[in-house]
């Protein structure tokens, strides 16, 4: 019984990390049909945002609140990755809707650019750039409509961008002076230290439950409930579902479809940033940290059924349990009398990397018989 509960918990922990990483992709790929190979790099940006927030909270005037930096990092990572996702949609993706191959190649190029960006650009300058984009994108939304109308609207927007750039430069310079390590480019991996309340483990019914994984499970549950409520109950969530099912009719009914596209991509990208916070708490952060999750994310979304959040949850948890069951060699423990030939095969796959190879191979075989995944789309959503 202890082995069963230990397997379920470890599978839930692994599946939670995979789920929170795939949740944003389920929005972008599942609802919009966009193959975004830069999704892993959006996770990486969330992880680096956590690292920057951690260093800021180590400053003397914020040191008393250091244990709360993770909560701030969750919001900051969502905003940073969301802004980059919105910029990606408005500059690249918008021109490639309906062209999946071109979108795939373009986002792959963006992923390479982002990887090299974090290697070559100081994080203080990157933070200033993100702040500039945030102010420039939100500025017109808070200005009176008459300021943006007519010929003077161009000058107003130019002034907003100029002011945002000035604030971004000043913020980058200030951050670099307060935290000197952020003023230098660092291509090496960096480490994020969990706050005191996230360290150690809890003993429950003979099981040792690591606190960081428990926190990640809680973050995942909150994220799933939040995105489910957003899509099912909020006005913009219903608009997203309407545009997904029938874009021409939604346009005729007055729904701003271009705004819906931007919002959908921003929310999906922001969720990738939240996944980056979880990933940063499990190991070191580097430019390639997101690349190790992108294949698993696509596998989860496709296996669960494109566009189905329930299928995404079930698929991620199933892959997590199978990864722990096979990769940790628990099958050998649960079945000590296993025939030698089968035991040799199980022992060969009893590593995390080889377990993923086996699981992904089984998923490929499964999709040959059920190409639409566990929960295929129905109705008009299939025709869209």
Residue 379 has pLDDT above 50, yes or no: no
| Confidence grade of residue 21 (pLDDT, cut at 50, 70, 90) | confident
| Confidence grade of residue 381 (pLDDT, cut at 50, 70, 90) | very low
| Confidence grade of residue 132 (pLDDT, cut at 50, 70, 90) | very high
Contact yes or no for 244/384 (Cβ under 8 A): yes
**Spatial distance between the Cα atoms of 241 and 228, rounded to a whole number of angstroms:** 12
pTM equals 0.89
Output phi, psi for 208, to 5 deg: -100, 110
In percent, the amount of the chain with pLDDT more than 70 equals: 93
In percent, the amount of the chain with pLDDT more than 90 equals: 24
For range 215-221, the mean pLDDT: 89
Q: How many CB atoms lie within 10 A of CB 352?
A: 14
The pLDDT of residue 382 is 47
Question: Which range, 18-32, 64-78, 242-256, is most confident?
Answer: 64-78
Residue 380 has pLDDT above 50, yes or no: no
Q: Where are the domains of the chain?
A: 2-40+198-383
Report the mean per-residue pLDDT for the chain.
Answer: 85
The pLDDT of residue 321 is 83
**Spatial distance between the Cα atoms of 296 and 310, rounded to a whole number of angstroms:** 17
pLDDT digits (tens, 9 = 90+) for 33-82: 788 889 999 999 999 999 999 999 999 888 899 989 999 999 999 999 99
**Spatial distance between the Cα atoms of 32 and 253, rounded to a whole number of angstroms:** 19
pLDDT digits (tens, 9 = 90+) for 316-374: 888 888 887 777 766 666 667 777 877 787 777 777 778 888 888 888 888 888 888 87
The pLDDT of residue 334 is 66
| Confidence grade of residue 13 (pLDDT, cut at 50, 70, 90) | confident
pLDDT digits (tens, 9 = 90+) for 254-306: 888 888 888 888 998 999 999 999 888 888 888 988 888 888 888 888 888 87
Q: How far is CA 372 from the centre of its chain?
A: 23
Q: Which two tokens stand for residue 99?
A: 């062209």
> Could you tell me which residues come within 8 angstroms of residue 346 by beta carbon, excluding any fewer than 6 positions away?
326, 329, 331, 332, 338
């Amino acid at each position: 019984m202890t082995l069963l509960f230990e397997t379920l918990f470890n599978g839930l922990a692994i599946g939670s990390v995979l789920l929170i990483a795939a949740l944003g992709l389920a929005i972008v790929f599942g609802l919009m049909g966009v193959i975004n190979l830069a999704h892993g790099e959006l996770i990486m940006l969330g992880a680096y945002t956590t690292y920057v927030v951690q260093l800021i909270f180590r400053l003397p005037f914020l040191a008393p609140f250091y244990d709360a930096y993770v909560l701030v990092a969750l919001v900051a990572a969502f905003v940073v990755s969301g802004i980059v996702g919105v910029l990606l949609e408005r500059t690249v993706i918008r021109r490639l809707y309906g062209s999946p191959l071109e979108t795939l190649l373009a986002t792959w190029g963006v992923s390479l650019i982002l990887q090299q960006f974090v290697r070559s650009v100081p994080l203080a300058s990157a933070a200033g750039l993100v702040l500039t984009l945030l102010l420039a994108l939100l500025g017109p939304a808070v200005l009176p409509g008459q300021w943006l109308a007519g010929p003077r609207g161009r000058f107003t927007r130019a002034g907003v961008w100029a002011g945002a750039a000035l604030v971004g430069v000043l913020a980058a310079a200030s951050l670099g002076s307060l935290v000197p390590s952020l003023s230098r480019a660092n291509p090496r991996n960096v480490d994020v230290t969990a706050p005191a309340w996230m360290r150690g483990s809890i003993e429950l019914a003979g099981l040792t439950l690591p606190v960081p994984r428990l926190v990640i499970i809680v973050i995942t549950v909150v994220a799933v409930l939040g995105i489910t409520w957003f899509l099912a109950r909020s006005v913009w969530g219903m608009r997203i579902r309407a545009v997904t099912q029938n874009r021409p009719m939604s346009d005729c009914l007055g729904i701003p479809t271009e705004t819906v596209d931007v919002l959908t991509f921003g929310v999906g990208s922001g969720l990738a940033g939240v996944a980056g916070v979880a990933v940063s708490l499990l190991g070191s952060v580097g430019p390639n940290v997101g690349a190790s999750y992108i294949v698993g994310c696509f596998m989860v979304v496709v296996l669960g059924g494109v566009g189905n959040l329930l299928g995404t949850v079930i698929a991620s948890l199933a892959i997590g349990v199978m990864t722990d069951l096979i990769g940790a060699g628990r099958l050998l423990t649960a079945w000590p009398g296993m025939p030698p030939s089968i035991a040799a095969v199980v022992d060969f796959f009893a590593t995390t990397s080889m377990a993923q190879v086996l699981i992904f191979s089984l998923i490929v075989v499964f999709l040959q018989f059920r190409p639409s995944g566990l929960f295929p789309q129905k109705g008009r959503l299939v025709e869209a």
